[in-house]
């Protein structure tokens, strides 16, 4: 068992909040709070070979802090370019090449220092190297702290479909250092808020209402508001993952907006929208589809769009071709021989997984949103 499955208590007990993703022998902690990157007690004590994977934006800010906390180890680093376009099999191979060339053993550990792209590709490499080695998620964006670092989904993109190639491989810990959010550009912060809002929509109407009140504080990086938003988001995701680790049922709810959003991302060559922006657009499209079939009411639809706008997120996908979006949606991982599935909204705080409505309904929703 890894040392981090029975982790030492964080050094600053008053500032650090911890919760557990309950998966039996593979359970792991999520630590949330300021200054975590500097705390040696939170890193795996039994791994002497460590590969840190980061990117050219994050590494200059935090790499030396992490290296100092690791002490006297065999530490290798890989610095990737920034952006979704490096989330490829070529990058995956680069990480594996380094592990092999440096003669890393099965008891090594990979550290994913960065946002969702770094976490996903590093996790997939950890899942594959010697059929699975330990890795730690060190998310430095809000989106990664509340979503992609938790739950063990690892992947790279196919040119025509996002996250099509990957594996379920749980980290041994998540270190969500809230100090890292101070360096986020406003657009990246907003992208993370899309995933936070998602949790309120799918299961927690009280959290949704709190977000409506707290959004100005969140955008201003109020530490108490951020800590609550991250904690509640991680609680919801951890509970769902513990119940349905491999997405056979309830976990699919976490993909609200993602089927639309992933199609938009791929059509935009992973450059036009950040992932969280595409998810926000997808949530709008899911809500409007839900309204079109008589579920969520117009008032709640407007309330949801107003919250997304107040977070600094887009709610209209100007200029997209509805037919091309629908074509890309057919490549979604939730599609099977019976057809495409969508997560739709019965009311704020309750979402369900259902077969997609008729193409004409979806095309009309997309046409209205594309201007």
pLDDT of 352 reads 96
- Which position among 162, 169, 228, 262 bears the catalytic label? 262
How far are the Cα atoms of 63, 320, 331, 353, 363 from residue 356, in angstroms, in the given order?
A: 44, 20, 13, 9, 12
Catalytic residue check, 258: yes
> Strands of 134-139's sheet, edge to edge?
17-21, 28-33, 173-177, 134-139, 109-114, 49-55, 74-80
- Which position among 163, 228, 255, 265 bears the catalytic label? 255
What residues does 111 pair with on adjacent strands?
A: 52, 136
pLDDT in tens, 81-126: 999 999 999 999 999 999 999 999 999 999 999 999 999 999 999 9
pLDDT of 15 reads 66
Catalytic residue check, 14: no
Six token digits for residue 124: 């997939």
pLDDT in tens, 173-232: 999 999 999 999 999 999 999 999 999 999 999 999 999 999 999 999 999 999 999 999
- pTM for the whole structure: 0.91
Q: Where are the alpha helices (DSSP H) in 166-321?
A: 186-203, 205-219, 223-243, 258-267, 275-292, 298-310
pLDDT higher at 371 or 78: 78
User: By the 8 A CB rule, do 341 and 353 touch?
Assistant: yes
User: By the 8 A CB rule, do 68 and 26 touch?
Assistant: no
pLDDT of 371 reads 72
User: By the 8 A CB rule, do 68 and 61 touch?
Assistant: no
pLDDT of 241 reads 96
CA 128 to chain centre: 20
Burial class of 168 by CB neighbour count within 10 A (0 to 12, 13 to 18, 19+):
middle
User: By the 8 A CB rule, do 139 and 174 touch?
Assistant: yes
pLDDT higher at 336 or 45: 45
Catalytic residue check, 158: no
pLDDT band at 366 (very low <50, low <70, confident <90, very high): very high
- Which position among 198, 231, 232, 237 bears the catalytic label? 237
Nearest to 152 by CA among 23, 253, 43, 343: 23
What residues does 135 pair with on adjacent strands?
A: 110
Burial class of 81 by CB neighbour count within 10 A (0 to 12, 13 to 18, 19+):
exposed
Nearest to 157 by CA among 278, 79, 268, 266: 266
- Which position among 31, 162, 251, 288 bears the catalytic label? 251
- Is 14 a residue whose pLDDT tops 90? no
- Is 3 a residue whose pLDDT tops 60? no
> If DSSP codes are grouped into helix, strand and coil, which group holds residue 44?
coil
Q: What is the mean pLDDT of residues 320-340?
A: 85
HSE of 29, CA atoms in CB hemisphere, 13 A: 20
pLDDT in tens, 259-313: 999 999 999 988 999 999 999 999 999 999 999 999 999 999 999 999 999 999 9
Fold of 186-369: Dehydroquinate synthase-like, alpha domain (1.20.1090)
Provide CATH 3.40.50.1970 ranges for the chain.
3-183
Catalytic residue check, 169: no
Residue with tokens 């991982």: 333
- Residue 76 CB neighbours (<10 A): 17
- Is 2 a residue whose pLDDT tops 60? no
- Is 153 a residue whose pLDDT tops 70? yes
- Which position among 84, 195, 265, 277 bears the catalytic label? 195
Q: What is the mean pLDDT of residues 122-145?
A: 98
- Which position among 14, 103, 131, 337 bears the catalytic label? 131
Provide CATH 1.20.1090.10 ranges for the chain.
186-369
Architecture of the 3-183 domain: 3-Layer(aba) Sandwich (3.40)
pLDDT of 7 reads 40
- Which position among 87, 198, 275, 333 bears the catalytic label? 275
User: By the 8 A CB rule, do 296 and 350 touch?
Assistant: no
pLDDT of 161 reads 85
Catalytic residue check, 228: no
Catalytic residue check, 309: no
Widest distance between CA atoms in the chain: 62
- Which position among 162, 232, 258, 333 bears the catalytic label? 258
Ramachandran area for residue 22 (φ above 0: left; ψ -120 to 50: alpha; else beta): beta
- Is 16 a residue whose pLDDT tops 70? yes
pLDDT of 5 reads 35
- Is 6 a residue whose pLDDT tops 50? no
The whole-angstrom separation of Cα 82 and Cα 331 is 26
- Which position among 153, 162, 232, 328 bears the catalytic label? 153
């Amino acid at each position: 068992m890894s040392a981090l499955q029975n982790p030492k208590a964080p050094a600053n007990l008053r500032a650090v909040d911890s919760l557990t993703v309950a998966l039996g022998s593979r359970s792991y902690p999520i630590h949330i709070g300021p200054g975590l990157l500097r705390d040696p007690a939170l890193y795996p004590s039994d791994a002497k070979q460590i590969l840190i994977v980061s990117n050219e934006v994050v590494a200059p800010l935090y790499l030396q802090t992490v290296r100092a906390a690791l002490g006297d180890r065999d530490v290798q680093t890989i610095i990737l370019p920034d952006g979704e376009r490096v989330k490829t099999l070529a990058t995956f191979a680069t990480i594996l090449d380094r592990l092999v060339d440096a003669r890393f053993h099965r008891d090594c550990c990979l550290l994913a220092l960065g946002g969702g792209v770094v976490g996903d590709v590093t996790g997939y490499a950890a899942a594959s190297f010697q059929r699975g080695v330990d890795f730690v998620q060190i998310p430095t964006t809000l989106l990664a702290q509340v979503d992609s670092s938790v739950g063990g989904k690892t992947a790279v993109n196919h040119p025509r479909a996002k996250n099509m190639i990957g594996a379920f491989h749980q980290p041994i810990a998540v270190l969500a250092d809230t100090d890292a959010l101070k360096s986020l550009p406003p657009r990246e912060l907003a992208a993370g808020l899309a995933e936070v809002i998602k949790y309120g929509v799918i299961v927690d109407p009280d959290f949704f209402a709190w977000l409506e009140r707290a959004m100005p504080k969140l955008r201003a990086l109020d530490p108490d508001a951020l800590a609550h938003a991250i904690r509640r988001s991680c609680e919801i995701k951890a509970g769902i993952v513990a119940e349905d680790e491999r997405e056979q049922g309830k976990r699919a709810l976490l993909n609200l907006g993602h089927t639309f959003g992933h199609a938009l991302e791929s059509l935009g060559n992973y450059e036009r929208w950040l992932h969280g922006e595409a998810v926000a657009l997808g949530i709008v499209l899911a809500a409007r589809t839900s309204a079109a079939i008589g579920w969520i009411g117009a008032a709640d639809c407007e309330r949801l769009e107003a919250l997304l706008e107040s977070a600094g997120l887009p709610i209209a996908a100007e200029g997209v071709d509805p037919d091309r979006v629908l074509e890309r949606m057919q490549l979604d991982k939730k599609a099977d021989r019976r057809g495409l599935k969508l997560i739709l909204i019965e009311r704020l705080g309750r979402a369900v997984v259902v077969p997609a409505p008729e193409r004409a309904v979806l095309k009309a929703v997309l046409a209205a949103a594309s201007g």
